[in-house]
Amino acid sequence: MTAATRLISRLTLVTGGGSGIGRAVCQRLASEGASVVVADISEESANETMVGLQNELRGQGHMAAVVDVSSKESVKKLVTRIQPPSVCVNAAGITQDHFLLNMEEDHFDRVIQVNLKGSFLITQAVAQALVACGAPKGSIITVGSIVGKVRELQRDRLCSPSGIFTAELIGSSLSSAFKVYSLTLIIPRPQSTECSSELDQKGRRISLWSDQQVLHKRQQQSKKHSLSSGAF
């Protein structure tokens, strides 16, 4: 089966589908034949993605939906209005680029609500829907952040690892209970998205480090620290 046809007749749900990585995921799923539910907190952004899919990839039934992933009521409303998706991608996420000493409590709370609780609510609701209808298989994918595994050296984003924590926590608790379903975490390299553009506008330099660059920088900093402290 070719990539262009392997998801034909499959319904897929993508949160955060209005922009960035979420929009790219929608485009990829549609290119492989899937019908895509583009879910986003911004109705305008969700519609933009959907219109793009309809213009470029005709013949498939796509739809836009407004959802606040941090609200259980909003998530339930979304999941109950569609049939259980064969593929669900948790791509909704925000960032608050502040150092620990300067971060406001409401900024911390909002990131946790969206990145951590949001991934949990979507995963739980979709898993429940799949089990309730007796779906033979399904895949739930959470997009994490590389910052949760390799800290960016230019800045400290306190809450970026929350998506990774969510995926690992949910995956370990559900994988044994729902063995017929796939629970996956993916951690893409840093991407140029609206979130990173907003940070650039704040005057913070965003560096897209490769793993090798990060390791080299850490080694240099470690060597510099050893020399300055008198250790040889």
pLDDT one-digit tens code per residue, 20-47: 999 999 999 999 989 999 999 999 999 9
pTM, two decimals, is 0.74
- 228 phi-psi bin (left φ>0, alpha ψ -120 to 50, beta other): alpha
Range of the domain at 112: 11-206
Q: Is residue 91 assigned to a domain? A: yes
Q: Which two tokens stand for residue 38?
A: 């583009």
Please give the full DSSP string across 6-72, using - where no structure is assigned.
TTTT-EEEEETTTSHHHHHHHHHHHHTT-EEEEEES-HHHHHHHHHHHHHHSTTS--EEEE--TT-H
In a domain, 214, yes or no: no
More confident residue, 208 or 95: 95
Q: Is the pLDDT of residue 223 over 50?
A: yes
Question: Residue 106: inside a domain, yes or no?
Answer: yes
Name the domain count of the chain: 1
CA distances from 94 to 46, 162, 198 (A): 16, 11, 11
Q: Which CATH number covers residue 171? A: 3.40.50.720
pLDDT at 201: 46
Is the residue at 141 inside a domain?
Answer: yes
Render pLDDT for 105-160 as a digit per residue (tens, 0 to 9): 898 899 889 988 999 999 999 999 999 999 888 999 998 776 666 555 444 454 44
Kindly state whether residue 231 falls inside one of the protein's structural domains: no
- What radius of gyration do the chain's Cα atoms show? 19
- Band (pLDDT 50/70/90 cuts) for residue 54 is confident
- Whether 67 is covered by a domain: the verdict is yes
* Distance between CA atoms of residues 27 and 32, nearest Å: 9
pLDDT at residue number 205 = 39
Percent over 90 (pLDDT), the chain:
41
Q: Which long-range contacts (CB under 8 A, 24 or more apart) does 126-133 make?
A: 126/13, 126/79, 126/84, 126/85, 126/88, 127/174, 127/178, 127/181, 129/79, 129/80, 129/84, 130/84, 130/178, 130/181, 131/178, 132/84, 133/83, 133/84
Residue 79 in domain: yes
153-189 confidence digits (pLDDT tens): 444 454 444 555 555 566 555 555 555 567 777 766 5
Asked, for residue 161, whether it belongs to a domain, the answer is yes
